[in-house]
Amino acid sequence: MAAVIRLARRGGKKSPFYRIIVTDRRYAGDGSRLEQVGTYDPRQQPSRIEFKAERLAAWLKRGAKPSPTVAQLIKQSGVQLAPDPAAGETS
């Protein structure tokens, strides 16, 4: 399955609010989603970005690709993604 992590707009006219969702790339435009992994509220100062870090890490590990905007929000929020224990450290 080709999953994508993207924004889904909510809120009224001139008052945007976004949910950060995981959806199947083949059906990205129909509004269906697999899971909500966070929210983004650009109206607050500073903008409020919240992630469910465990779920986000799980989807990224499964191969879900974030959209360019979501990738920027992940970097901006500084969310700490748990390292993969199976990878192990080699020194």
pTM over 0.75: yes
Q: Give the pairing of strands 15-24 and 35-41.
A: antiparallel
User: pLDDT-derived band of residue 91, with 50, 70 and 90 as boundaries?
Assistant: very low
User: pLDDT-derived band of residue 31, with 50, 70 and 90 as boundaries?
Assistant: low
- Cβ atoms of 60 and 37 within 8 Å: the answer is no
* Residue where the block lists tokens 């129909």: 30
Mean pLDDT of 58-84: 86
Q: What angle do CA 76, 32, 11 make, to 5 degrees?
A: 55
| CATH of the structural domain 3-70, one choice from 3.30.1320.10, 2.40.160.20, 3.30.300.30, 3.90.1150.10 | 3.30.1320.10
Residue 54 has a pLDDT of: 92
Higher per-residue pLDDT: 54 or 33: 54
Residue 67 has a pLDDT of: 93
